[in-house]
Structures are given as C-alpha cells and as structure tokens.
Structure 1
Amino acid sequence: MQILILGGTSFVGRAIAVEAVARGHVVMLLNRGTKPAPAGTTSVIGDRLAPDGGLSGLGERTFDAVVDTWSAEPSIVTRAVEGLAGRVGRYIYISSLSVYSPKNEDQREKLNNESTPLFDISSSDATKLEFEYPYNKRAAEVAVEKGFPAEKVLIVRPGVILGPHEAAIIERGRLTWWLTRLRRGGRTLAPGPSEMGIQFVDARDLAAFVVQGIECETSGAFNLIGEAGVVTMGSFLEAGREVTGERAELIWKTPGEIREAGISGWTELPVWIDPESEGYNSVYWWDCVKARAAGLRCRGLGETVKDTWEWMENGELKPVPAPDGYEGRLLGLSPEKEKKALGD
C-alpha cells in the first residue's frame, strides 16, 4: 500500500514509518527535512505552516492512507484534510486521551472508555491556554471527521507514550529523564505510593495498531493504552533501576510529602501524578478493551524500558542533554530540590 505520513521523523510518526516499511508498504514522508528519515522511506520537503500546507511537493500523487500526528493549531489539520481530499483513501489521525473530559468525582470502580464525555470545543472556556492541547486535538478530530466519510477515518487516542526515540533531548522525555536520574544513582526520590497504577503504550505498539488498521480498513475511535492494574509506579522505577546498574536507592515519599516539598507532579516528576488529585483519573484510569479487540498488543514494561535504555546508550540517534539556554519545555526535578525533599 502507498502510505503518506505527515512528519514521520520523530517518535510516533517515526515508529509508524518504520513499522509500515517493515510490513512491505511504500512510505512517503512530508516534512521540513530537518531530521533524518527512517530507512526505506522517501521524503518530500514541505512546511505545513505554508499557505498550501506544504502539499505542493506531492504533485499529483495519490495514496491509500495518510497518517497525521499534528498537535498544534487545528486549522493546519483542516488545511491538510481539504488539500488531500480525493487523493488519499483513508485518514488516520493520532489524537490523545486528552480529548476526553472525565467527571472529576471518584470513579475508581469504573474505568473511562470511548463513551467518556469528550472535551467541548464550543464551550466559552475551550480556548483558554490551560485547555490548549485538548482543544487542538479534539478540534483536529472534528476537522477530519467532517472532511472524510466515517468509514474512512481512524482516530487513535493514546495515553502516555513511551519507548525508544521518545525525545531528542533527555529532559523532554519522561522515561529518558527517569533513566538518566536512576543511572546517576544514590538516594533517589521515588514518588509514591509504590502501588499507584500507571498506564502507557509503547510507540512501537501504537505503530503496529495503526498500520494494521490501515491494512484492515479499521475505522472509528480507539483508546490506545496498556491495561489498568498491570504497571505500578514501583514496577516502573524498579525496571529502570535494574537496567541502569542498580545504582539508585529508591526513597519513597507520600503524595502529601511531595506536595509539602512544593514539587509538581507530571513536570518535575515525569509520569507521576498525585493519585489524590482530580487529574489522576483522566490519565491513568482507562479501559482498552475496544482497542485490544481490534488488534492492539502491548509489550511488557521491561521490554520498553530495556529497549529505551539501549537506544539512549547505543543508538545512532541517541538523545542528548538540553544545551545551556535551551528554551523548550523541559521535564525533571533539580538535584537541589530533590536533596532538600530527601532531607540530605
């Protein structure tokens, strides 16, 4: 099959390109040409922010499917939908679980699923900065749904995505940051409780689901995430500690102690969200039954952690620390703040 990927050189798009090539498909990437393309693909230079959406370089080519991972201004997706109408057979959009608005009451007896209420992009608060990401993703979904028949649209909504090539800069990745911290060793702040459940999907498993979906002409919306109750914060950190040489001593702190220390979950402590907060259910309380029935298969935590570590150590495109003065979004807890929280 002829598959067009808008992007295709970073993390999720790259994983999809690699998977599609491995399964014998012809893959073309459309991007600005600033990063190396995966082996076996061909590239066309195009800037999606250009007036034509960067599509002019495609000429009159047609494709069986297009994969779009865009996360910013949704009008860019609208432009792609309009520009590719009649030229692609199917539109696959990589969205996010962030498009949902789970109720904040305690719902620990029932997992969220595809019937959970969606973010309302028509509400008066929808365009506030704090809702930028869910607004962008949901508005992009709507653009795709309006531009293509329902049976030609596959919307994939992953939760936390981990795996090799997560980020080119260590401090922009969740797993990469933790592995770097655990490799440093010593007394290491471990956000508890250790039995707190977390969920993720490996980018390579997401990619396999997408390519299989193209092959099988799967349509509809699917939540892509590992099963609830399988991975905990404890097993996550212990897996990382093992692959990095067991140099770290995990010092567990309660959510209350972390709050008292003024440490922010998710940003300063990647992956961790205060389980007592309203946001926990929206990230780590999901049902993946529909996706599993459609072919999603998730590898074990140990494989994801091990492969990511090997990429960090030996990969041709292994990540590097953020350079001085870097202005991008960075994750992680400073050594000074960690020592203070540990009482060292």
Structure 2
Amino acid sequence: MRVLILGGSGFVGRSVADEAVRRGYDVTVFNRGRRAAPAGVSALTGDRLGDLSALEPGTWDAVVDTWSAQGEAVRRTAQLLSGRAGHYAYVSSRSVYAGTEPARAEDAPLVGVEDEGYAGDKLRGELGAAAFDGPVLLGRAGLILGPYEDIGRLPWWLNRLARGGPTLAPGPRELGLQYIDVRDLAVFLLDAALSRTAGAFDLVSVPGHTTMGELLDTANEVTGGRARLRWVEPAVIAAAGIEPWSQLPIYLPPGELHTFLHEGDVSKAYGQGLVCRPVRETVADTWAWMRGLPGAVPQRADRPRVGLDPAVEARVLGE
C-alpha cells in the first residue's frame, strides 16, 4: 500500500510512519522538513499553509492527515489529493463535542464552526476533509500517550517519579482513565485505510482501561521505584490552587470534565477492530524511548509546558 502522511515527523505522524514501514508499505511524508524523517520513508517538503507543489504529482492508496491548526489547511490538501488517493484519514479530537456532558458516541452535538481555539480548529479540519472525493475517516482521538509524545504529559510523570522522594499523587487511586496508545491509534488508522472505512470514530480505550493508581504505580516501578506516592484528595489539590491536566498532567478530578474525557462510548471503534494494549506496555516503552534520547524530551512549540512546581508540591505535602 502506498501511504502519504501529512506530517510524519512528530508524535502521531511518526508513529503512523513507523507502523506503515513495519508493514512493508511504501511511505511518503510531507512536512516542512524541520525534523529528521523516520527511517524507511520518502520525504516531500512543503508548507500546509503555503507551498503544496510537492504534492501535485503522485498517487497514493491512503492519506493520513495529522494537522491540528487551521482547518483551511485540511481543505486544501483534501481537494488537491482528490482523484489521486483512495482514502483520507483525518486525525481529529473528541474535543469537537460540545459541552461537558458524557459523549453519546459519535452522534453527540458538536461545537460551533465559529468556535475559537483547538476544538474549533479540529471541527473545521473535519469539514475541510469532506472536500476529499473518496472515503473519509474522522479519527476523534482522546488522550494520546506513548513513545514520541511531544506534549509532555506521561514524560513529565516519568521524570518526576524517576527523581524519587515524596510525590504528590492526585486521588482517588481508583479514578478511571480512558486514553489511547499512539501505536494503537496508528494501527487503527492504517487498518481503516485498507478497508476504506469512512465516518467518525471515537478512538480511545474503554472507560477504566486503567486507573490513576495503576498508571502511577507502574510508572514508579519502571523508573526504579524511588518515589513514595502520597495520595492527595481532590479538595486539597483544589484548595492549593493546583490546576488539573496542566500542572498535574493526565489527571482530572471526579466531575463533569472527568466524565466527559474518561467515560466516553467507544463501542463503534471497538466494533471496527480497535485494540488497546495494557498500560504497562505504554508506560515502559515511553520510558525506554525517553532514556534513549540524546537530550531532553521534545516539546511542541504550540503547546504549553505541563507539570507541577516542586516548591508547590513540597508545600502541599508538608515537606
């Protein structure tokens, strides 16, 4: 299969490229060329908001689009590649759903097309993908973890636990988590291309695939077991002014936002063959990737850094 990845050097795109190469596919990536291309691919250089001339020749069986900014960029490539590709998969987000009610699967109400920020951009990207003249898959991913992560969520926790000592663990321990390993996302996208599957799919694990306790216990174990987890109730965290999700990555306390993000209906994706690997594999492989890096974990320039100030952590723990 001939696969074109729009992106291909960052988190999701690189994982799709790796999986496609592993399968023996003929893989082309298109990006600005600012980072080294994955091994085994052909690279085209251009700009999603500018020069697309490198994409004007050529045909592909499948396109995977990882763009996360202005939706106009998706429309441009979807139109340009119409008639020259067999399938178009756009990596969207469950953020396109409106409000914080539990997502009623893929037919839940969506944000407005005029909405500012990430959710609006992803919805406009979905609308842009509709310009493609063949089957279009909208992969509405939730929380994505795994090797190559350049947002910093799981890497922050792994580095913090590796540092050891008393460590603030946001409770309750049994709080369920719903996410997807980036490699399982890649497998689903490529399988969907093979079967020419179209439509919207919420791509995360089943609710409760793991818990906050299992995630942090596993991460502590694989990083050497030097941390002493001190479980802190949500009310104490809130009273300290600590922001869930940003200062305590991955974590959301029980409530509307947690229900929305971690209790979604994913029966459609599982019926289409989605398989999510155990949390231990995600954690261990991410740590192995981090330890093999020549320097710091890469950080996307368009996303804020995450993590808790050690002084704030010590104050809450009374250290």
TM-score with structure 1 setting the length: 0.88
Structure 1 residue 229, shift from structure 2 partner: 2.0
Check if 1:290 corresponds to 2:268.
yes
Answer yes or no: is 1:139 the counterpart of 2:124: yes
Alpha-carbon distance between aligned partners in 2 of 1:190 and 1:10, rounded to the nearest angstrom: 29
RMSD: 1.8
Determine whether 1:281 maps to 2:259: yes
Change over 3 Å in CA distance of 1:289–1:235 after alignment to 2: same
CA distance in 2, matches of 1:320, 1:218: 35
Whole-angstrom distance in 2 between the partners of 1:22 and 1:32: 24
Aligned mates of 2:99, 2:241 — CA distance in 1: 26
Say if 2:313 is the partner of 1:338. yes
User: CA, structure 1 residues 181+218, in 2 after alignment: closer, same or farther (shift >3 Å)?
Assistant: same
Aligned to 1:300: 278
Which residue of the partner structure matches residue 88 of structure 2? Answer: 91
| Secondary structure class of the residue paired with 2:248 | coil
Deviation of 1:103 after TM superposition, in Å, equals 4.9
Deviation at 1:327, TM superposition (A): 9.1
* In structure 2, distance between residues paired with 1:12 and 1:318: 20
Does the 8 Å contact 2:81/2:132 carry over to 1?
no
SS of alignment partner, residue 95 of structure 1? strand
Do structure 1's residue 203 and structure 2's residue 200 form an aligned pair? no
Runs of 4+ in structure 1 off by over 2 angstroms are 317-322
8 Å CA contact retained: 2:4, 2:29: yes
CA displacement 1:59-80 (0-9 Å, x = unmatched): 4211112111111111111221
Distance, in Å, in 2 between the alignment partners of 1:185 and 1:342 is 14
Distance in 2 between residues matched to 1:58 and 1:103, nearest whole Å: 39
Aligned counterparts of 2:127 and 2:297: Cα–Cα separation in 1: 37
1:42 to 2:42 alignment: yes
Q: Deviations over 1:5-62 (max 9, x none)?
A: 1110111001111111111211101111111111110001111121xxx321134211
Q: Specify the alignment match of 1:80 in structure 2.
A: 77
- 1:302 and 1:116 map into 2 onto residues whose CA distance is 32
What pairs with 1:136-215 in structure 2 (closer than 5 Å)? 136-145=121-130, 147-149=131-133, 152-167=135-150, 172-215=151-194
Distance in 2, Cα, partners of 1:85 & 1:215: 18
Secondary structure in structure 2 of the residue aligned to 1:135: helix
Structure 1 window deviating more from structure 2 (73-82 vs 182-191): it is 73-82
- What is the distance in 2 between the residues matched to 1:338 and 1:197? 23
* Cα distance in 1, alignment partners of residues 217 and 295 from structure 2: 22
Question: For residues 223-253 of structure 1, what are the alpha-carbon distances to aligned partners after superposition, in whole Å with 9 as ceiling and x for unaligned?
Answer: 1111112311111100101001110011111
Q: Distance in 1 between matches of 2:228 and 2:40?
A: 43
Aligned residues: 318
Looking at structure 2, the residues matched to 84 and 285 of structure 1 have their Cα atoms a distance apart, in angstroms, of: 36
Q: Is the 8 A contact 1:78 1:143 kept in 2?
A: yes
Distance 2:296 2:94 in 1: 26
Unaligned runs of 5+ in 1: none
Distance in 2 separating the partners of 1:328 and 1:260: 26
> Structure 2: where are the runs of 5+ without partners?
none
Q: Post-superposition shift, 1:281?
A: 2.0
Aligned to 1:259: 238
Change (3 A) 1:68 1:307: same
What is the Cα deviation at residue 197 of structure 1? 0.7
- Return the alpha-carbon distance in structure 1 between the equivalents of residues 184 and 48 of structure 2: 27
Supply the AA of the counterpart residue of 2:4: L
Q: Distance in 2 between matches of 1:113 and 1:220?
A: 12
| Contact 1:33/1:45 (<8 A) preserved | yes
Identity score, percent: 46
1:19 aligns with 2:19: yes
| Distance apart, 1:86 and its partner CA | 2.0
TM-score (norm 2): 0.95
> Which residue pairs with 1:32 in the alignment?
32
Q: 2:113 aligns with which of 121, 137, 142?
A: 121
Is the 2:165–2:227 contact (alpha carbons within 8 Å) kept by the matching residues of 1?
yes
How far apart are residue 102 of structure 1 and its match? 4.7
